[in-house]
Amino acid sequence: MSRSFDRRAVLGLGASALAAGIVASSPVLAQMAGGPAISGISVDIRPLEAKGLNGFAEALGAAVHRQLSREFAGQITRDRRAPVLYVQLTAISMTPPAGPAVGRGRGGGGGAESDFLEGTVSLGGQSFPLLVQQNAGTAGDWRRPEVNDRRRFDALAYAFAHWARRKVGG
């Protein structure tokens, strides 16, 4: 009896692995799993480089790509017929830290203590602008710019990827 149970367990694991492989390669099943299937992600940083933000633009592009890969993980397929998610980063604004008062103002809706990332998201012939805002004061201790700036940078990349997924569907 234990032998047939072991055989069933192995067959069940094999069927599960096969189903996972089918989902990963099928755009229809990937779409059913939570949004449109995509075959890849491309992040264009040339507009930021044209503004003289060369090294910064590369690091930001990599962070946005990493976050998009996480957000769209269930929708990426091996089917090359599926469209590529194309993101163009066009502008960024990170306010200089102003001390402990940053982020503690009333209202919290934009203004001098906010960081912004702007771009365009395109998928399958549809394109839309995207502007995300993050409160600069939520990144942590303003007296440690090497840590604070990285957190602000990552928060913008995360917010951009999150809203891109919501706009595209999924």
Domain, as residue range, for 134: 2-168
Check residue 153 and give its pLDDT. Answer: 85
pLDDT band per the 50, 70, 90 thresholds, residue 103: very low
Average pLDDT over residues 101-113: 49
- Per the structure, the count of domains in the chain is 1
CA dist., res. 110 & res. 114, Å (int): 6
Q: What does the buried/exposed string (b/e) look like for 125-139 if buried means 16 or more CB atoms within 10 Å of the residue's CB?
A: eeeeebebbbbbbeb
- The pLDDT tens digits of the residues spanning 112-170 come to 588 999 999 999 889 999 999 988 877 666 677 677 778 888 999 999 999 999 998 86
Of 78, 38, 61, whose CA–CA distance to 161 is shortest? Answer: 61
68-86 tens-digit pLDDT: 999 999 999 999 899 999 9
Q: How confident is the model at residue 61 (pLDDT cuts 50, 70, 90)?
A: very high
What stretches of 94-149 adopt beta strand conformation (E)?
114-123, 126-135
In 3D, which of 89, 87, 69, 72 has the Cα closest to residue 27?
A: 72
